[in-house]
Structure 1
Amino acid sequence: MTPWRVPMTTQWTTPSALGRRLQRARVGHWFAGNQGDPYALILRALRDDPSPYEEEVRARGPVFHSEALDTWVVTDGALARSVLTDARFGALTRAGGRYRAELLPPAGAELGPDPAGDERGGVPAGADPAVSARDEAAVEALAERVSHTLLGGLGTDFDLVTDFARRLSAQVLAEFLGMPAADRDRFEELLTGCARSLDSRLCPQTLDITRTGLEAAAGLRELLGRHLDDGGERSARAALALAVGAAEPAGVLICNAFEMLGDSHGPWDALCRNPEKAGAVVEETWWRRPPVRLESRIAQEDVELAGAVVPADGHVAILVAAAQRDPAIAPARAQDGPTGGPERGDGTGVPLGLLGDAHSTSAARTAGAISRAALRVLAREAPGLRPSGAVVRLRRAPVTLGHARFPVTRTGSGALTGPATA
């Protein structure tokens, strides 16, 4: 047993009870997928590229009702933007619980909305630490310094996910949240244990991964609470949600950007010649390969969406990656390359992951700042960086479509090899 493990919550007192819950959720997805439900096939998360399933959802109209999973699924770009900014949708049911919680994988405390928070059911907008635009610039400067230090300690060959991207996010967040130096290694270990949190809320993980995530989240919350007690439980909860909500998306964004550029040498070499273009690359990656591909909302009243009536407490899933491929919300980007398309002044050029409540915006700002700094440092200090082996994507990761391994070398050359699975 690892030294940070804590007792499981009273809701899941035995591994057998937890295992049955996970198995029931998995069987539900499997059964619906076997009946041809494309949303269920997305939640199965067995493919490196789920876009064929996303396009099948789109072919069924702007709003597809997955009857087996009782979820209204949105792929239309304008409609997705509307749902994500509409106060009639929140994170919890009107009674303050999760939607059909008995049929979903168990959720840890790390991303659970605060029932005592605002009326939309999210972490309260006034809870610290919120990441302002000024904080975003500070996080980016901090991430640049940490990226330089991390890269300097790595050899010729390393793993972009485990040796660089995840460690970078954890170390930046530890410093931003004011963790004492003596507790930063433990903070990094616990945050790594929460890496599957975003995916686990909609897709049941294995029993071992689930137990590790629940225990790591509890340990992380206790650690943050001890150091943020002056701000009360609300500040510790907000810090926990920020750390978990930003860390893995930042790592995914870094790897997605390098993978997109590394498909051929030209775009990566162009960035190396001008590392200050890292911001444009991150923005374009957020459009083409977003680090959060699936958002979930609960209707707080009866709402009509493109002719479909979603009842109060109805569950709406927004397929972010599919919605961002809709040329109606960003038509210029459909033809643009990975150096970024033209800016738009009407607000429709903002990636969907940057919309939503105050906390979601803070997590997105933090992930973006970390990613921009990382790419800038990699391009400036490791221009010869190349993939050196099979890129392994995670299974059961429908939200992040994250990486398990991404081997790179500073002296090798060549394009990406075919993906493997984990």
Structure 2
Amino acid sequence: MEDSELGRRLQMLRGMQWVFGANGDPYARLLCGMEDDPSPFYDAIRTLGELHRSRTGAWVTADPGLGGRILADRKARCPEGSWPVRAKTDGLEQYVLPGHQAFLRLEREEAERLREVAAPVLGAAAVDAWRPLIDEVCAGLAKGLPDTFDLVEEYAGLVPVEVLARIWGVPEEDRARFGRDCRALAPALDSLLCPQQLALSKDMASALEDLRLLFDGLDATPRLAGPADGDGTAVAMLTVLLCTEPVTTAIGNTVLGLLPGQWPVPCTGRVAAGQVAGQALHRAVSYRIATRFAREDLELAGCEVKSGDEVVVLAGAIGRNGPSAAAPPAPPGPAAPPAPSVFGAAAFENALAEPLVRAVTGAALQALAEGPPRLTAAGPVVRRRRSPVVGGLHRAPVAAA
């Protein structure tokens, strides 16, 4: 397909979301991903009832009880490359829906199988064993920071990339290539629901193909438990998609939420930093919009949901209580462990990466807290646009005081 045609279709899909949003649909506005704080849209959606039908055609809920039941219901399947406006992709998945190639469109049973297969590398016990490596990576990156630096580009964005490169054994000569691919895939989770710009979409497709070739060559299959053919590449690619941008965002949001007066006290020490990381992921869940499609006719909250209808759970709203800023607040004292269901409930696919995301986020906060005693903002924070799923950070300059 010619770039001009691909660009036209991307613009058409984007335009539909804008039109629906401009006509008063808060879910469509949320999908546009143009505001730093999605809370006003969450609040507006709550006023529409426990479950309502958006003009996009999707059934939408921000209710914790109903959302949890939907995500746990095996009568709801994962989407298969459908846009919320029901537009056919006509082979566009490789550009506008790269998650289709990156194993993000898994049915529940396959996601659960991969989680078991990946347990020797990514399960809770395995992640505990990786902790010295994770600590070493975070300490090394924190120690090399200048007095003024970009929190995203020079620290938070590098931590998960370096950790994953070490875990999967990416050779030193391929590290720069791996880092470029990870950066190019920053919008991938968002692209599942929000059309990205043409150049970014093409870059994501190229990065996915390059990562596939890289991981095929590394062959992680022997390290897994009872894997099927291709599982090594699938698991490795999933960690890139489910860890890199979510960890970057969680680190950045947490530090920014503690500046200027409270940093670094709440993150001093492994236990405290881990608790703060857990709270951050609970409040600003890294996979904020979960989509499902009904496998059969259902009745949900008094509404008749037909087979094939899209049902959306706003997991990001479930982690928040009322209006709030984009960054999580600092705990006034020792942090209480968050409810474990909120992070994992965002999407069952996340269960594969959850232990690693928590561990890397906590270790990164601890390492940074052991550096300069004070950090202050050194410029405006810039968030990625078209990022309704992750709420990604683009730039956050800070300085040691």
**For this structure pair, what is the TM-score category when the shorter chain's length is used for normalisation?**
0.7 to 0.9
* Counterpart pick for 2:372 among 378, 382, 395: 382
Residues 1:300 and 2:295 are matched in the alignment: yes
Q: What SS is found at the alignment partner of 1:309? A: strand
Matches of 2:356 and 2:220, distance apart in 1: 23
User: Does the 8 Å CA contact 1:286/1:351 hold for their aligned counterparts?
Assistant: no
Which residue number in structure 1 is paired with residue 27 of structure 2?
A: 39
Post-superposition Cα deviations, 1:290-344, rounded to whole Å, max 9, x if no partner, equal 22221222222222221122222221211112122359xxxxxx99946565458
Q: After superposition, where does 1:12-411 map in structure 2 within 5 Å?
A: 13-66=1-54, 68-93=55-80, 98=82, 100=86, 102=88, 106-108=96-98, 109-113=100-104, 119=109, 124-128=114-118, 131-228=122-219, 232-262=229-259, 264-265=260-261, 267-271=262-266, 274=269, 276-326=271-321, 337=331, 339=333, 342-343=336-337, 349-355=339-345, 359-411=349-401
Give per-residue Cα distances to partners, 1:159-210, cap 9 Å, x unaligned: 1111111111111011112222222221111111101101111111111111
Shift of residue 35, structure 1, vs aligned partner:
1.3
For 1:299, give the aligned amino acid: A
2:384–2:391 contact (8 Å) kept in structure 1? yes
**Residue 381 of structure 2 aligns to which amino acid in structure 1?**
V
Moved more, 221-230 or 240-249: 221-230
Alignment-mate amino acid for residue 245 of structure 2: E
User: What TM-score results when the alignment is normalised by the length of structure 2?
Assistant: 0.87
Q: Give structure 2 stretches of 5+ with no counterpart.
A: 223-228, 323-327
- Whether contact under 8 Å (2:283, 2:316) holds in the other structure is yes
Report the alpha carbon displacement of residue 272 of structure 1 after superposing the two structures with TM: 5.4
Q: Compared with structure 1, are the counterparts of its residues 357 and 122 closer, same or farther at alpha carbon in structure 2 (3 Å cutoff)?
A: farther
Aligned pair count? 382
Q: State how far apart, in whole Å, the 2-side matches of 1:53 and 1:118 are.
A: 28
2:353 aligns to what SS in structure 1?
helix
Once residues 58 and 7 of structure 2 are traced to their aligned partners in structure 1, the CA distance between those partners, rounded to angstroms, is 24
Preserved CA contact (<8 Å) 2:297 2:306: yes
Structure 1 gaps, min length 5: 1-12, 328-333, 412-422
**CA-atom RMSD, angstroms?**
2.7
**What are the superposed Cα offsets for residues 328-363 of structure 1, whole Å, 9 maximum, x if unpaired?**
xxxxxx99946565458xxxx225222377642122
User: Which digits, 9 at most, give the CA deviation of each residue in 1:205-224, with x for residues without a partner?
Assistant: 11111111111111111111
- Give me the whole-angstrom Cα distance separating, in 1, the residues matched to 2:97 and 2:336: 40
Q: Give yes or no for contact 1:275–1:380 (8 Å, CA) kept in 2.
A: no
**Letter paired with 1:250:** V
Which 10-residue stretch deviates more, 167-176 or 235-244? Answer: 235-244
The alpha carbon displacement at 1:245 in A equals 1.2
Percent of residue pairs bearing the same amino acid type: 31
The letter for the 2-side match of 1:77 is: P
Question: 2:337 and 2:182 mapped to 1: Cα distance?
Answer: 35
- Counterpart CA distance in 2 for 1:194 and 1:205 is 11
Which range is displaced more, 133-142 or 119-128?
Answer: 119-128
The SS at the match of 1:244 is helix
Q: Return the alpha-carbon distance in structure 2 between the equivalents of residues 339 and 154 of structure 1.
A: 28
- Structure 1 range deviating more: 226-235 or 387-396: 226-235
How much does 1:123 deviate? 7.3
Question: Structure 1 residues 230 and 171, CA, compared in 2 at 3 Å: closer, same or farther?
Answer: same
Letter in 2 for 1:102: K
1:341-386 CA-partner distances (Å, limit 9, x unpaired): 5458xxxx22522237764212222211110000011112232222
